[in-house]
Structure 1
């Protein structure tokens, strides 16, 4: 059976021989001792950096010319470490809460979804759409509650503007690996289809586009969104007088539709998005509907989007994007299965001079990394600035690799 493509989602790239010191450890809240995910670990006054994973763990190969490493997260006081004092052993970093005042509700005459629309538009305008993003990408695939595939790679995305506010990306895969984690006969099938043929819902060619197009979030700012959602705008100010504003979004209780919920944090001075955290509302998953799409039917059971942005040397750039989509697919007697895909894309560096593209024969043109297979010259997931697997992800990968 041919692969089915669903149009739901319309690290350092080269071996780093110059890196000499590994800065690794775990970032936790000083008061609660809970891990802090998605904290930024950056070379001060540089474009290079990584983020902590869902467990707060990070691993950063420090460039030789770096002097200071800065660790930051919204709501916490930034810490700066002198490179010459960093030891080559794992550390626990305690971040102190920024003691932001209680959030204050902002009363506004302007509909909040219109405020969000303005912030998104301004963010798009400030994002440089002619940029090279050096990234680490990875993806898990789960079929009928069993993890079946994993792929990751060090990828360069060359982004250029396109008509109608869209972007066009071309990519070069510098290193990659891909695993078939479970054979087809190990996966429960409710139809006759060979599920091993289905690699992913995600199109890696468009993996970085969501940074610039604000998929799903854009619909929350539309005029019709007021029919389905309630909005609340709050502000909070730190001890230095800096203000952030947060838009909380939740479905109206009486609307019987599968809707999203979450929050969007933005800088009210720059009027740009800093953090997006959106998912399908638990209480509204019961209203998921089956959609007819030509020769097949599908139902979206879950969507999750985590997206961050940051300023580096005054430049507004993407930082991290996590996507999750959980679908039930019905294709006659051939397929009646649940498939979930989870991807992480971390921007580890960028270049705003993309006056020339790589040669055509170097461009990766396939839809996913699985077609590239095991294609690496070093253990890039260990020797480059990859996002460490969480403890749970590591268990999944190691268990299934052993089969």
Structure 2
């Protein structure tokens, strides 16, 4: 019997050792004790990564030989955490505010548009080779401010410098909720797709929206710059509609590393003074007028590695069809879990072409939302989505 047990242990032990280890916790501001959202977390020595949610919470699975996690955010000092077996699932990470010199207005000797287009070209060039992104993706449709549908999944994006990326959906789930608020929408022949996941990675890598903004004459552009205590200089593009703008409405910033000329962060939303520039758009079977648009994209630099870390988008507005009228919103978030470079080809029979995950329904064999570097549900989301897997 001892010999048999020994044999079994020898066979099983390598498998046990190879199991990934889960670390969970919250990231907070050291001075205010407030949670810090959108912190990029990376396992040192690998491409495994995730981000904190709106409550500063995170979960990340790493190989057992991982020694360190790094926490990065443009507003804070880089933080490294040595890993051990203690308190793996109740970590509290405090970040110190990054010390920057006073932000200065730049007066360049050539058009700002040309400067920014060069930065965008250089950043896009870093993704000129074939890239495969292992990601966690989630989408949400709201009707009259209540969640109508929710979907998420582990998706692979095969980017090859073209209009769309090839998508493989490894596992996913999709649920439709019920409410009195949905009656008008459900009684209509509409299927709303306010956002399209097929375009997410291509838009990020080609900086499609930013290129349109800097080329649009109705946008006013300005540059500021600040240097950190570590010597790193960040340049910030500020954009907003000119005072006489008639057709544009977005305002925001784009931050880039001055030395490397690489984009690090893009944020944009609707300027409240120009919301009337957003007109009713005709779509098939209905009309839609947006009044709330938010976008955020985060890139990171880790040594010689430059990578997309996180992308989110939200668009809300009024939907009209004949006598029907209701308020609808589309939301998505994309967290890059791992990145692979090289000529990797997807199985053509498995490529997914739909704009949302709806057609796949419940498409999972394991609880991937617990077993991968997914985005942790916020407390507000838990209240609504806590019974997600019980919903048809």
The TM-score with structure 2 as length reference comes to 0.88
Point out where structure 2 has 5 or more consecutive residues left out of the alignment. 1-15
1:141 correspondence with 2:141: yes
Q: Distance in 1 between matches of 2:186 and 2:153?
A: 32
1:279 correspondence with 2:260: no
Q: Distance in 2 between matches of 1:329 and 1:186?
A: 14
Match of residue 4 from structure 2: none
1:187 correspondence with 2:182: yes
1:352 correspondence with 2:348: no
1:379 correspondence with 2:367: yes
Q: Distance in 1 between matches of 2:161 and 2:115?
A: 25
Match of residue 220 from structure 2: 230
Contact 1:191 1:336 in 2 (8 A): no
Cα distance, 1:191 vs structure 2: 9.6
Q: Distance in 2 between matches of 1:187 and 1:290?
A: 22
Match of residue 5 from structure 2: none
Q: How has the CA–CA distance of structure 1 residues 76 and 170 changed in structure 2, closer, same or farther, with 3 Å as cutoff?
A: same
Cα distance, 1:190 vs structure 2: 7.4
Cα distance, 1:364 vs structure 2: 2.3
Cα distance, 1:363 vs structure 2: 2.3
1:362 correspondence with 2:350: yes
Q: How does 1:39-78 map to 2 (within 5 A)?
A: 39-78=39-78
Match of residue 313 from structure 2: 323
Q: What is the SS of the residue equivalent to 1:239?
A: coil
1:38 correspondence with 2:38: yes
Cα distance, 1:310 vs structure 2: 1.2
Q: Distance in 1 between matches of 2:337 and 2:88?
A: 21
Q: How has the CA–CA distance of structure 1 residues 394 and 194 changed in structure 2, closer, same or farther, with 3 Å as cutoff?
A: farther
1:311 correspondence with 2:301: yes
Cα distance, 1:80 vs structure 2: 1.3
Contact 1:276 1:308 in 2 (8 A): yes
1:397 to 382, 385, 389: 385
Contact 1:42 1:71 in 2 (8 A): yes
CA deviations 1:44-70 (Å, max 9, x no partner) are: 132111111111111111212212111
1:202 to 186, 195, 198: 195
Match of residue 300 from structure 1: 290
1:177 correspondence with 2:170: no
Q: How has the CA–CA distance of structure 1 residues 31 and 208 changed in structure 2, closer, same or farther, with 3 Å as cutoff?
A: same
Q: Distance in 2 between matches of 1:398 and 1:157?
A: 28
Q: Distance in 2 between matches of 1:116 and 1:92?
A: 38
* Alignment coverage as a number of residue pairs: 376
Q: How has the CA–CA distance of structure 1 residues 203 and 129 changed in structure 2, closer, same or farther, with 3 Å as cutoff?
A: farther
Q: Distance in 2 between matches of 1:40 and 1:191?
A: 39
Q: Which has the higher contact order (CA 8 A, sep 6+)?
A: 1
User: Looking at CA atoms only, which structure, 1 or 2, has the larger radius of gyration?
Assistant: 2
Match of residue 5 from structure 1: none
Contact 1:296 1:330 in 2 (8 A): yes
Cα distance, 1:372 vs structure 2: 0.6
CA deviations 1:233-282 (Å, max 9, x no partner) are: 11111112111111111223343545101111001111111000111112
- Worse-matched range after superposition: 281-290 or 266-275: 281-290
The TM-score with structure 1 as length reference comes to 0.86
Q: Distance in 1 between matches of 2:292 and 2:181?
A: 24
| Structure (1/2) with the larger helix percentage | 2
CA deviations 1:69-123 (Å, max 9, x no partner) are: 1111112111212223653231211101121111111121223233222211221
Q: What is the SS of the residue equivalent to 2:47?
A: coil
Point out where structure 1 has 5 or more consecutive residues left out of the alignment. 1-15
Contact 2:75 2:98 in 1 (8 A): yes
Q: How has the CA–CA distance of structure 1 residues 176 and 46 changed in structure 2, closer, same or farther, with 3 Å as cutoff?
A: same
Contact 1:45 1:312 in 2 (8 A): no
Q: Distance in 1 between matches of 2:98 and 2:54?
A: 21
1:221 to 214, 219, 228: 214
Q: How has the CA–CA distance of structure 1 residues 84 and 150 changed in structure 2, closer, same or farther, with 3 Å as cutoff?
A: same
Cα distance, 1:187 vs structure 2: 1.2
Cα distance, 1:232 vs structure 2: 2.3
Match of residue 329 from structure 2: 340
Contact 1:148 1:180 in 2 (8 A): yes
Q: What is the SS of the residue equivalent to 2:165?
A: strand
RMSD (Å) for aligned C-alpha atoms: 2.4
